[in-house]
Amino acid sequence: MPKRFVRLLLVSGLVVAIAALAYMQGYSDRESGTSIGFMPSTMANDQAKPKITPTGTLMDPNIYYPGSEALGADEMRLISCGTGMPTAREYQAASCWLLELGNGDKFLFDGGTGSAARIASLGIPYEYLNKIFISHLHTDHFGDFSAYFIGGWLSGRQGPLHVYGPSGARPETGTKYAIEHWQKALTWDVEGRAGRLPASGGKVVVHEFDFKGENKVIYEENGVTIRSWPANHVIDGPVSFALEWNGLKFVFGGDTYPNQWYVKYAKDADLAIHECFITVPDLAAKFGFSVSTALEVGTQIHTPPEAFGKVMSMIKPRMAVAYHFFNDPDTAPPILEGIRSTYDGPLTLAEDYLVWNITKDEIRTRKIAYNADAWPPPGAKAPPPVDRSITKYTSDWIVEKNLDVTDLVQQIYDRTNKQYGTNEKPSQ
């Protein structure tokens, strides 16, 4: 049996087993009728029952299989592609969230370290993933820019990648400066692909907006409005976002200390994401911080669980999502305890590969069965002709040292031309 299908079966079995254990141990929030972590939320009993037939395939509705479900015309789908911390690890990538709308639009919020592989595993054509909104310029929020930019170009994105991000206190700390200089660092990479890939896919368009704007519109198209407001994190520049569409509202706080802007403009959110750091004792024990540093990082630079709960009690979202911590069996309980000391509403403690289906009637939370062996999905458009006149090659003195395998290469060209009815010739 192929290993990818074995993995899907193992994930399905693991999710069911852990969900049962969590239920027995009281991790489900029975009072609110919603869930903590990955457990299914507001689903009718018949929805939660797998469809079993003698000749059919078992598709567990408690698990989301990417590409298997059409999005409703009035529905949002949010996928967590990164929920962790600045230090990289396999289990959780850094901040990245994919929001899909029933009108076909897709938006990425942040692209932190490790998240590009999570995005790729979903099998979505990159032509549709051409808009990314960056909350601030820490690498755990945009550190996978190069992997996503170049990888998306290689995998079928024919148009430019649009990057939306805040200004800074001075030009050198703004999004435009960061992306333009990152592109300069990628000069060799881009030049080596020129003339071999559609030129427009190798371009980036930066939309920098004033980080001081208070609930200002930074994107408005196809019935979608995205606004930003300042966030409080380390130095000037970070922002929070709200996306409104079809009577639904999604809020992404980025990294921020509790502030009045968020409380004011995140109200009426259907789903609201806000950072929630691990507890001070765990910062000291897990990271080896001094007590002084753990207190500063955990309660002054980042939002402690109790403060996260207070924010959510003030805005009262239909679903609150806490992220920016390593969600482990020993770290999650004290975080949950802190949140529940100030907030008793619907809650998800985030981890990677969760999906929230959001409609006006319900919010459904599930785990994703992903394909870790995913290949690039088919392109959304037929590839256009490329401009070979701009193709660059290695210098003659390097070519002169090539091992002579021209007869073998010619045989490959001959077989390929016969198979596809083409008349291609080796370039060098």
The β-bridge partners of 348 are 321
Q: Quick one: CA torsion of 254, 256, 259, 262, rounded to 10 degrees?
A: 10
Cβ atoms within 10 Å, residue 278? 27
Let me know: does 322 contact 308? Beta carbons within 8 Å. Answer: yes
Provide the pLDDT for residue 214: 98
Alpha-carbon gap, residue 288 to 187, rounded angstroms: 39
Provide the pLDDT for residue 51: 65
> How many degrees, rounded to 5, is the angle at CA 287 between CA 282 and CA 289?
90
Alpha-carbon gap, residue 9 to 118, rounded angstroms: 19
Both tokens of residue 200? 């427009």
pLDDT tens per residue, range 69-99? 999 999 999 999 999 998 889 999 999 999 9
Provide the pLDDT for residue 428: 65
Provide the pLDDT for residue 6: 41
Q: What are the φ/ψ torsions at residue 147 (nearest 5 degrees)?
A: -65, -40
Residue with tokens 């254990």: 21
Comparing C-alpha atoms, which of 268, 366, 272, 350 is closest to residue 43? 366
Q: Give me the tens of pLDDT residue by residue for the chain, a chain 428 residues long.
A: 444 444 444 444 544 443 434 433 333 343 333 444 433 333 334 455 666 677 766 778 899 999 999 999 999 999 999 999 988 899 999 999 999 999 999 999 999 999 999 999 999 999 999 999 999 999 999 999 999 999 999 999 999 999 999 999 999 999 999 999 999 999 999 999 999 999 999 999 999 999 999 999 999 999 999 999 999 999 999 999 999 999 999 999 999 999 999 999 999 999 999 999 999 999 999 999 999 999 999 999 999 999 999 999 999 999 999 999 999 999 999 999 999 999 999 999 999 999 999 999 999 999 999 999 999 888 888 888 888 888 998 999 999 999 999 999 999 999 999 999 999 999 76
Sketch the domain layout of the chain as residue ranges: 3-368, 397-428
Provide the pLDDT for residue 379: 83
SS (H, E, C) the chain: CCHHHHHHHHHHHHHHHHHHHHHHCCCCECCCCECCCCCCCCCCCCCCCCCCCCCCCCCCCCEECCCCCCCCCCCEEEEEEECCCCCCCCCCCCCEEEEEECCCCEEEECCCCCHHHHHHCCCCCHHHCCEEECCCCCHHHHCCHHHHHHHHHHCCCCCCEEEEEECCCCHHHCHHHHHHHHHHHCHHHHHHHECCECHHHHCEEEEEECCCCCCEEEEEECCEEEEEEECCCCCCCCEEEEEEECCEEEEECCCCCCCHHHHHHCCCCCEEEEECCCCHHHHHHHHCCCHHHHHHHHHHHCCCHHHHHHHHHHHCCCEEEEECCCCCCCCHHHHHHHHHCCCCCCEEECCCCEEEEECCCCEEEEEECCCCCCCCCCCCCCCCCCCHHHCCCCCHHHHCCCCCCHHHHHHHHHHHHHHHCCCCCCCC
Provide CATH code, domain 3-368: 3.60.15.10
Query: Which residues neighbour 294 within 8 Å (Cβ) at sequence distance 6 or greater?
Result: 280, 281, 283, 284, 287
Alpha-carbon gap, residue 34 to 348, rounded angstroms: 9
Provide the pLDDT for residue 380: 83
Cβ atoms within 10 Å, residue 402? 10
pLDDT tens per residue, range 230-251? 999 999 999 999 999 999 999 9
Predicted TM-score (pTM) of this structure:
0.87
Alpha-carbon gap, residue 41 to 34, rounded angstroms: 5
User: For the chain, first and last CA: distance in Å?
Assistant: 42
